[in-house]
Chains A and B, each alone.
Chain A
């Protein structure tokens, strides 16, 4: 069984730019959640996708958007990057009908300068 893979592992962007982060879900999982982990903090829920539709959103502005594809892979897009967007972005896949069964990727470290 394959795990969750995220790309790229590291990324440096300039303030105001746009970025796309990618995630391949674990085989058999139908739900993908994205989290932002700032330095010294726990992962903060951004949003979740199920059946290619957004299925819940945390306290993040609309410039954070996402997609889930038929093969359950996913993208996180962030527009108009701000310095505070610098963080580790974690993708977690799960099976919706199973409680708390997250499998996390290793994350993408985004630095906005």
Chain B
């Protein structure tokens, strides 16, 4: 039973345009959400996070939106750059076990110059 879902295995975007990566979750206990980025032959690196008390968090070109009622979050990258090409993992954790993080299957983003 997959608690964190990323239904788009891949996404292609033109350089300079917006990339939108989507994520859905099923466990209503999740209240902290994270995005990780992974390049080939490297471990995932933390990108941005959001607590369930917020509906938006920004960090430079990256913005995460959270819709708790829909159990949906999205990562927006504006403007997209070729260096953003990577696999993006949505992840979630619950207040009862904040240090255990559950990952989605990932979306492979390709930014075309």
Count of inter-chain pairs, beta carbons less than 8 A = 65
Tally of contact residues, B, Cβ under 8 A: 26
- Please tell me if the beta carbons of A40 and B46 are within 8 angstroms of each other in the complex: no
With A40-B105, A99-B32, A102-B46 already in contact, the answer to whether A45 and B41 are too (CB < 8 A) is no
- Size range of the chain A interface in the assembly: 20 to 34
- Please tell me if the beta carbons of A105 and B106 are within 8 angstroms of each other in the complex: no
Q: Is A74 an interface residue (CB 8 A)?
A: no
B33 to chain A, nearest CB (A): 9
Q: Output the nearest chain B residue to A107 by Cβ-Cβ distance.
A: B43
B42 to chain A, nearest CB (A): 5
With A42-B89, A104-B43, A104-B45 already in contact, the answer to whether A99 and B98 are too (CB < 8 A) is yes
Chain A residues near B99: list those with CB within 8 A.
31, 33, 48, 50, 55, 94, 96, 99-100
Chain A residues near B29: list those with CB within 8 A.
none
Residues of B within 8 A of A (CB): 4, 6, 9, 32, 34, 36, 41-46, 49, 89, 91, 93, 97-106
